């Protein structure tokens, strides 16, 4: 074993960074044996230097992250600050000054992964980011390496722990939305600004990363259709329960049947209770990958939280250090297919629509006509009348999303439709 240590700079020492530092210290001997050289924590950049950080030598703390990555003797920079800047500049500066990078920053990778990949390739460094998608679950490496010889056609799953925690609490414990969000934040699952979680930005960033790697193309955050969970009500959850379903925030990345384009989307959807994703509770994540030769693979585990995420970061750190000692680098960006990303309107899916309508002769026929005019076939209809009003629940067969949203728009214009109480896509059947 080499006695000269590999020097690690830790940028950020919050929920994830503090766990990375703890595991590096408590498992130092095992990590050294697995890498073939000891690791040395050479500096820790934070925003608030006076904060007490258990187990960390105060002499290592700095607020000057730029000076730390420019030192020239750092082997690996671990970026767990989050956000776009200064993270992006710090990472590219680290590459320029001789370091490889491990990051958990999905927001940055989805927004400007190309800049990071290019800088890493230009300087002959590694860029690893297993922790950026689905916390502890090994998913990036299986897609980038284990499935590099196969053709992935679909990636579908729950990739945000906070929203899954909230929906699970609302569904099974009757918790209120705000109460469940506060709990997820206290447990360290939520982003610094939880809007990123509840509005679907975090899951959309992960979908962009997964789609890019799975389909060997470039997919950016703006290419991903995004809807969060802020509009999901307890009435939606109750309605889902009546249909033998539950509601999950899903990320779905698909290659078109002709193989000439891809789509990526994040939105809440009803899934049957019999589907494996329905039993994914709390902040757990689960992702299905469908590949031509491999068939269907399922990845499941803790999707957020300090220690689970640190596990993924440490795995990358070991891999990058091994590469460094071997004078090699791991895989870079693979975007050779250059497949275009189609819009949400072209996605084929099913809708569950809950309408408040007048309870009088001909209304059902009027509603059915609107569906027929838009080429959308109805699967089931359930009606419950009360005092001249009725609640009409329509579940469609599969149709293009543009046709489904056109149908809803036309339904809203009918005099006999008092309101559209809820619209939700149905997946997983």
For residue 190, report the phi and psi dihedrals to the nearest 5 degrees: -75, 160
> Exactly one of 95, 189, 215, 300 binds ligand NDP (CB under 6 A); which one?
189
Please work out the total of residues on this chain that contact ligand NDP, with binding judged by CB under 6 A: 28
Is residue 13 a contact point for ligand NDP (CB under 6 A)? yes
Is residue 284 a contact point for ligand NDP (CB under 6 A)? no
Which CB atom, from 226 or from 374, has the smaller least distance to ligand NDP?
226
CA atoms within 13 A on the CB side of 320: 30
Q: Is 17 annotated as a binding residue?
A: yes
Is residue 194 a contact point for ligand NDP (CB under 6 A)? no
The CB-of-127 to ligand HSE minimum distance in angstroms stands at 18
Residues that bind ligand HSE (CB under 6 A): 135, 160-162, 189-191, 197, 202, 303-304
Is residue 200 a contact point for ligand NDP (CB under 6 A)? no
Is residue 10 a contact point for ligand NDP (CB under 6 A)? no
Which CB atom, from 153 or from 160, has the smaller least distance to ligand HSE?
160
Is residue 354 a contact point for ligand NDP (CB under 6 A)? no
Residue 14, binding choice from ligand NDP, ligand HSE, none, Cβ under 5 to 8 Å by partner class: ligand NDP
The CB-of-139 to ligand NDP minimum distance in angstroms stands at 12
Q: Is 14 annotated as a binding residue?
A: yes
Which among 78, 92, 2 is positioned nearest to 43, based on CA atoms? 78
Residue 160, binding choice from ligand NDP, ligand HSE, none, Cβ under 5 to 8 Å by partner class: ligand HSE
Query: Looking at the annotation, which residues are catalytic?
Result: 206
Task: Tell me the binding residues for NADP(+).
Answer: 11-18
Q: Which residues bind ligand NDP (CB under 6 A)?
A: 12-17, 45-48, 51, 65, 80-82, 86, 104-106, 131, 135, 188-189, 191-192, 304-305, 309
Task: Tell me the binding residues for L-homoserine.
Answer: 191
């Amino acid at each position: 074993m080499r006695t000269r240590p590999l020097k690690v700079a830790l940028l950020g020492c919050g929920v994830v960074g503090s766990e990375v530092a703890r595991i590096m210290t408590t498992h130092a001997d095992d990590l050294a044996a697995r890498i073939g050289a000891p690791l040395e924590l050479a500096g820790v950049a934070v925003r608030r230097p006076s904060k007490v950080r258990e187990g960390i030598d105060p002499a290592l703390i700095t607020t000057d992250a730029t000076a730390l990555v420019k030192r020239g003797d750092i082997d690996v920079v671990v970026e767990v600050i989050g956000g776009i800047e200064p993270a992006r500049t710090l990472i590219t500066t680290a590459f320029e000054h001789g370091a490889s990078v491990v990051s958990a920053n999905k927001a940055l990778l989805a927004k400007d992964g190309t800049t990071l990949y290019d800088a890493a390739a230009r300087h002959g460094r590694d860029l690893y980011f297993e922790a950026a998608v689905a916390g502890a679950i090994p998913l990036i490496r299986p897609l980038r390496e284990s499935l590099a010889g196969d053709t992935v056609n679909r990636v579908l799953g729950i990739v945000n722990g906070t929203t899954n925690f909230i929906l699970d609490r609302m569904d099974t414990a009757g918790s209120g939305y705000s109460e469940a969000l506060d709990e997820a934040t206290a447990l360290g699952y939520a982003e610094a600004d939880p809007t990123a979680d509840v509005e679907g930005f975090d899951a959309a960033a992960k979908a962009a990363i997964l789609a890019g790697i799975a389909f060997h193309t470039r997919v950016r955050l703006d290419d991903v259709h995004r809807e969060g969970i802020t509009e999901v009500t307890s009435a939606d959850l109750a309605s889902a329960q009546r249909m033998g379903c539950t509601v999950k925030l899903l990320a779905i990345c698909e290659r078109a049947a002709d193989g000439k384009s891809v789509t990526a989307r994040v939105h809440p959807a009803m899934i049957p209770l019999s589907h494996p994703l329905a039993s994914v509770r709390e902040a757990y994540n689960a992702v299905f990958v469908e590949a031509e030769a491999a068939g269907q693979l399922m990845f499941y585990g803790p999707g957020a939280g300090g220690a689970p995420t640190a596990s993924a970061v440490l795995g990358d750190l070991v891999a990058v250090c091994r590469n460094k000692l071997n004078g090699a680098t791991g895989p870079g960006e693979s975007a050779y297919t250059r497949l275009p990303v189609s819009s949400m309107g072209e996605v084929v899916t099913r809708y569950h629509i809950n309408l408040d309508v007048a309870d009088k002769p001909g209304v059902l026929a009027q509603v059915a006509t609107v569906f027929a005019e838009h080429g959308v076939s109805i699967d089931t209809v359930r009606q419950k009348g009360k005092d001249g009003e009725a609640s009409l629940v329509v579940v469609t067969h599969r149709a293009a999303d543009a046709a489904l949203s056109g149908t809803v728009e036309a339904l809203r214009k009918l005099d006999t439709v008092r309101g559209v109480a809820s619209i939700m896509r149905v997946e997983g059947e």
